Amino acid sequence: MAVSRRNALKSGFAVGASVIMSKTGVAEATSPSPPLAPGQTAPAPLLTLEDYERAARARMDPVAWEYVASGAADELSLRWNADAYREMRLVPRQLRDVRTLDLGVTLLGKRLTHPILLAPTACHKLAHAEGEVATARGARAAGAGMVLSSYTTVAIEQVAPEKPPLFWFQLYVQDREYTERLVKRAVAAGATAIAVTIDTPVAGPRNRQDRSGFVFPQNLPHISGQRVEHPLMWKDLEWIQRAAGNTPLLLKGILHPDDADLGVKAGAAGIMVSNHGGRNLDTALATIDALPAIVDKVGGRVPVIVDGGIRRGTDVLKALAYGASAVMIGRPFVHGLAVNGADGVEAVIGILRRELEMAMSLTGCASLKAVDRGILAGGCR
């Protein structure tokens, strides 16, 4: 969907008015607030994803927070995911027509108004009582695709009716019979793709999570109760695809370009570049560092989606410049969910989308097709 440059860049507020967050995540002016009492401090507006992170930490149960926030071992990959974006430099182009912006993208035949998706993350009821239902509602309102985790706290049949514009199911392979039933259940409920997580033959050393005493909720609707970490091999994709029928498979957890190539040759309809949010193999490279070689290897045969470390619209722009078809965010939308349920999810996506619109205008890119490595210093790191 095209948006005007004026709407993308407006940022002025009335003097003396209070500032609130609209459902699109944009700060808006309201009528003047009553005077503050002596010693009273006005609440700070939530303008950035970092603002939502701080607010979520203050609201969430400390043990649940440690689960959401932590990574593996020394958490180096967790930090590198975000730091790598900050080290990249943009080179804007000037005097281009950016009066109208088009953020639209098509993924597996589905047209979306922007390229920001919600990554599969576990146990949303740790953040909000409505759990994944609220997440899906916020995704729909913000026009964002959603990938539902196998570790959902709400059954897929209850989440799917919220109808986010794109709805995929992330699969942890468990025992084969259970997994086949789960895939068929997800397809029957309305999932239009299955994202198979392939980077977890075992879980990494989650020391911070373990120190907190975190344990998963009991009786999750799509977890068999048996061992979930499962060493997959390429041949396993054949029976998973048979269970899915005509529903496409994506492979989540690829960091090596040769694995991306093997995945496409094995029939994958999409590649998800991910290091599991820094939660499995510590010192694995940042996903944005892995992205360009994977994009080059895939060569446009299937869409490439990247997650990990995205906190600003400029981060989204940099991923798109390297050739990603779309990006996924994880922890940030959980923060929004914790702060304000579905409206918080919508607000976080809205902030990121608006920042992307601004970054596109300021680099001279009127559409995603115009975003390429030419706006990155050095072209490719």
Q: Phi and psi at residue 319, in whole multiples of 5°?
A: -65, -40
Q: Is the dihedral of CA 235, 285, 147, 359 positive or negative?
A: negative
The span from the CA of 215 to the CA of 218, in Å, is: 9
The span from the CA of 64 to the CA of 24, in Å, is: 27
Q: Which of 197, 116, 215 is nearest to 149 (CA)?
A: 197
> Kind and range of the H or E element at 361?
helix 331-363
Residues 6+ apart with CB under 8 A from 75: 208, 278, 282
Q: Of 114, 124, 230, 276, which one is the catalytic site residue?
A: 276
The span from the CA of 34 to the CA of 266, in Å, is: 63
> Kind and range of the H or E element at 355?
helix 331-363
Active site residue 276: yes
Q: What is the dihedral of CA 11, 344, 113, 171, to 10 degrees?
A: 150
What amino acid positions are annotated as catalytic residues?
A: 276
